[in-house]
């Protein structure tokens, strides 16, 4: 069982039960505040400031313990969880409960992603791949270099399952998505394409057409949000 939890461990929020955030598992979702990107379509923009980590992690873990009969996984999301200084500590508590753990990340801290995988603290990683190299600053406010390092590491390693995820921002055209498939995603196990919750979003038919054109770049293409 989990060790005694330090009182200074805080999180931004959590979702008690999710059937869609961890493939084929019933999960709780923990949100850690703070992010180094500023994506225009972010649906968690209220927790971009790390000062939003105000909820006691110990109280959340107490409820998760009570639900172990039907919740078998936890997703650690954000914000960007790899920026959180106590990430490893939180992951250890979750693994001590025998839970499957998934990490959602923007990939800008490849050394942290590598560390938590090689320490055996996560079972699944979802990496957001947001744009082509030239459009990364436009979409996220950051360069792509560190994300490429994380993508290459995930494709090389064979310890855990992973997926790449792309939100179909209106800033991305069909040519951009093909370039992302060729230059970033190519050879990945799973590429999830998801609808953007924003104005001028792609239609459901367009999303399906795009997904069919991307099948050559990943073993599995998953479409979400249509």
Q: What residues are paired with 194 via a beta bridge? A: 167, 224
pLDDT > 70 fraction of the chain, expressed in percent and rounded: 97
Q: Which DSSP symbol is given to 19? A: S
Q: What is the pTM of this model?
A: 0.94
DSSP summary character for residue 200 = T
Alpha helices in the chain (DSSP H): 57-66, 87-96, 110-118, 136-140, 145-156, 174-180, 204-213
- At 140 the pLDDT is 95
The model's pLDDT over 10-69, given as tens digits with 9 standing for 90+, comes to 999 999 999 999 999 999 999 999 999 999 888 888 888 999 999 999 999 999 999 999
Q: State which H helix or E strand residue 55 sits in.
A: strand 55-56
Could you write out the DSSP letters of every residue in 148-182? HHHHHHHHH--SSEEEEEEE--TT--HHHHHHHII
Distance, CA of 190 to CA of 188 (rounded, Å): 6
CA quadruple 61, 66, 68, 71: dihedral positive or negative? negative
Cβ-contact 61, 74 below 8 angstroms: no
pLDDT tens for 138-188 read: 999 999 999 999 999 999 999 999 999 999 999 999 999 999 999 999 999
User: How far, rounded to the nearest angstrom, does the alpha carbon of residue 178 sit from its chain's CA centroid?
Assistant: 22
Show the domains of the chain with their CATH numbers.
Answer: 10-224 (3.20.20.70)
79: pLDDT strictly greater than 90 = yes
- Write down the pLDDT at residue 6: 64
Q: In the prediction, which pLDDT does 2 show?
A: 44
Residue 1 has pLDDT above 60, yes or no: no
Question: Between 72 and 7, whose confidence is greater?
Answer: 72
Using CB atoms within 10 Å of the CB of residue 142, give its burial: 0 to 12 exposed, 13 to 18 middle, 19+ buried: middle
Query: Of 137, 77, 144, 86, whose CA–CA distance to 110 is shortest?
Result: 144
Residue 7 has pLDDT above 80, yes or no: no
CA distance 54 to 45: 16
Asked if pLDDT for residue 121 goes beyond 50, the answer is yes
Question: Do residues 52 and 100 touch, judged by C-beta distance below 8 A?
Answer: no
* C-alpha span between 36 and 112 (Å, rounded): 15
């Amino acid at each position: 069982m989990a060790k005694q939890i330090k009182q200074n461990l805080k999180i931004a929020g959590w979702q008690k039960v999710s059937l869609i955030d961890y493939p084929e598992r019933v999960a709780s979702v923990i949100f850690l505040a703070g992010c180094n990107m500023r994506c225009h379509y972010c649906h968690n923009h209220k927790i971009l400031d790390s000062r939003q980590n105000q909820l006691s992690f110990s109280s959340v873990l107490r409820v998760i313990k009570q639900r172990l009969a039907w919740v078998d996984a936890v997703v650690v999301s954000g914000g960007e969880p790899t920026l959180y200084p106590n990430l490893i500590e939180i992951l250890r508590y979750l693994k001590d409960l025998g839970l499957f753990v998934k990490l959602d990340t923007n990939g800008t801290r490849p050394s942290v992603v590598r560390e938590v995988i090689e320490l055996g603290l996560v079972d699944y990683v979802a990496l957001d791949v947001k744009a082509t190299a030239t459009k990364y600053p436009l979409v996220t406010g950051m360069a792509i270099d560190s994300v490429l390092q994380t993508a290459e590491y995930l494709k090389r390693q064979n310890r855990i399952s992973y997926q790449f995820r792309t939100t179909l921002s209106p800033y991305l055209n069909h040519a951009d998505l093909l370039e992302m498939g060729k230059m970033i995603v190519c050879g990945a196990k799973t590429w999830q394409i998801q609808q953007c919750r924003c104005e001028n979003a792609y239609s459901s038919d367009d999303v399906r057409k795009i997904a069919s054109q991307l099948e050559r770049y990943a073993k599995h293409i998953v479409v979400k949000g249509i």
